[in-house]
Amino acid sequence: MGESSDSVSIDVEMIPLGGKECLVETSKGSISVFVCGDQEKPALITYPDVALNYMSCFQGLFFCPGAASLLLHNFCVYHIDAPGHELGAVVISSDAPLLTVEDLADQVAEVVDFFGLKEVLCLGVTAGAYILTLFATKYKERVLGLILVSPLCKAPSWTEWLYNKVILNLLYFYGMCGLVKNSLLQRYFSKLLAERQSSNVMRFLQAINERPDLTEQLKKLRCKTLIFVGESSPFQSDAIHMKAEMDRSALVEVEACGSLVTEEHPYAMLVPIEFFLMGFGYHRQLPPASLPNQGSNPASPSCHSYIAPELLSPESLGIKLKPIKTRVTIEV
C-alpha cells in the first residue's frame, strides 16, 4: 500500500471551497486525489465517469446551494480521478500496463489505506459507480454506504460493447474528435471533454468495456445504497437491476435528465441524500437564525422534489429505503 513518502501534495486555489491535490503512488501507478474538508471528519469518496474528472462530474452537486451544509458539514471529501483524467494530466506512457476494473478497485483501496481511512461512504457516476461498487464487494468492511448515479453493474451488452469499440477506435486514430465528443454527450451531459487526453480515456473505457457482471456479488452486499438515474439515461436497466438485487437500496428516478444527474439536476439529489444520511446519524448544518427563510432554496423539497411519505418513517431512514421518484421543476 502507498506510503506518505511516495506522494506529492500540491496546494491549489481553483476550488473556492479550498482543498489540496495529492498524487498518491499505488502498486497500479499514481493517482490524483483532491482532498476537500477537515480530514478529522468521516470520509466520502467520489469517482467520476469516463472522460470526466471531479470538477466536470461533481462541481454541479458540490456547488449547489445546500450541498455545503449537508455534505461538507459532515464529511471530508476525497475526489479520486481515474488514472490520467485529472486536470492537466499528461499522457500515460504506452509502456504502462493497461489496468482492469479489478486493478482500479484495488487502487481505490490503496488510496483509502494511504489516508488511513477505516470506513468510507462512496459516491460514483456510471463507470465510477461500477468501480466503487466493485470496491465495496471486495472490501465490504470498508464501505458504510453507496450513492450511485446511473450505475453500471452488468457486463456490457453486445450493443454497448460494439459501441464502445467504435469509440475506442476513433480515439486511437483521431483522438478526442467531434464524433467522439458527440458520442460521449449521448452518454451524459458533459463539460471539458476537450481537455482529456484521448489515450488516457481509451484506457479507462477499455477497462469498463471488459467489466464482469456484478450481479452475484450485489446479492451479498449489506451496505445501504441510494441509486439515482435520469429517466433518459441509457443505463436505466442497470440501475433497476441493481435495485432489484440489493436488499438495502432505494432507486430515485430524476425526470428530464440524462445520466449525469450531478451536473444536470444536482438540486434534485440533495433531499434524497439528506434522508439517506440520516440513517447514518448525519444531519444538515442549520443556517444561522439571522439568515432569511430557506423556502426559496433550490434544495428545498417544496421547490423541486417530492419525497414519498413512507421514506420519512424512522424505519426507512437509510435502512430500508423504498423506491422514490424525484420530480424536477424545469425553469424556461
Convert the pLDDT of each residue in 17-68 to its tens digit. Answer: 568 999 999 999 999 999 999 999 999 999 999 888 998 899 899 998 888 8
DSSP secondary structure of 145-172 = EEEEES---SPPPHHHHHHHHHHHHHHH
Read off the pLDDT of each residue in 223-232 and give the average, rounded to a whole number.
93
pLDDT band at 3 (very low <50, low <70, confident <90, very high): very low
Q: Is pLDDT of 99 > 60?
A: yes
Asked if residue 100 lies in contact with residue 207, where contact means CB atoms within 8 angstroms, the answer is: yes
Which residue type is seen at 286?
L
Tell me the domain boundaries of the chain: 19-155+213-279
- Give the residue from 82, 87, 114, 89 showing the smallest Cα distance to 2: 114
pTM: 0.78
In this structure, what C-alpha cell is assigned to residue 64? Answer: 449547489
Q: Which residue in the block uniquely carries the three cell numbers 477505516?
A: 118
- Give the residue from 145, 151, 153 showing the smallest Cα distance to 45: 145
In this structure, what C-alpha cell is assigned to residue 7? Answer: 506522494
Convert the pLDDT of each residue in 140-199 to its tens digit. Answer: 999 999 999 999 999 876 676 565 566 665 555 556 655 555 555 555 443 444 455 777
Cα–Cα distance measured from residue 98 to residue 199, given in angstroms and rounded to the nearest whole number: 11
DSSP state of 206: H
In this structure, what C-alpha cell is assigned to residue 308? Answer: 414519498
Under CATH, domain 19-155+213-279 is a member of which superfamily? Alpha/Beta hydrolase fold, catalytic domain (3.40.50.1820)
* Phi, psi values for residue 243, rounded to 5°: -60, -40
Strands 249-254 and 224-230 turn out to be parallel
Cα–Cα distance measured from residue 299 to residue 27, given in angstroms and rounded to the nearest whole number: 41
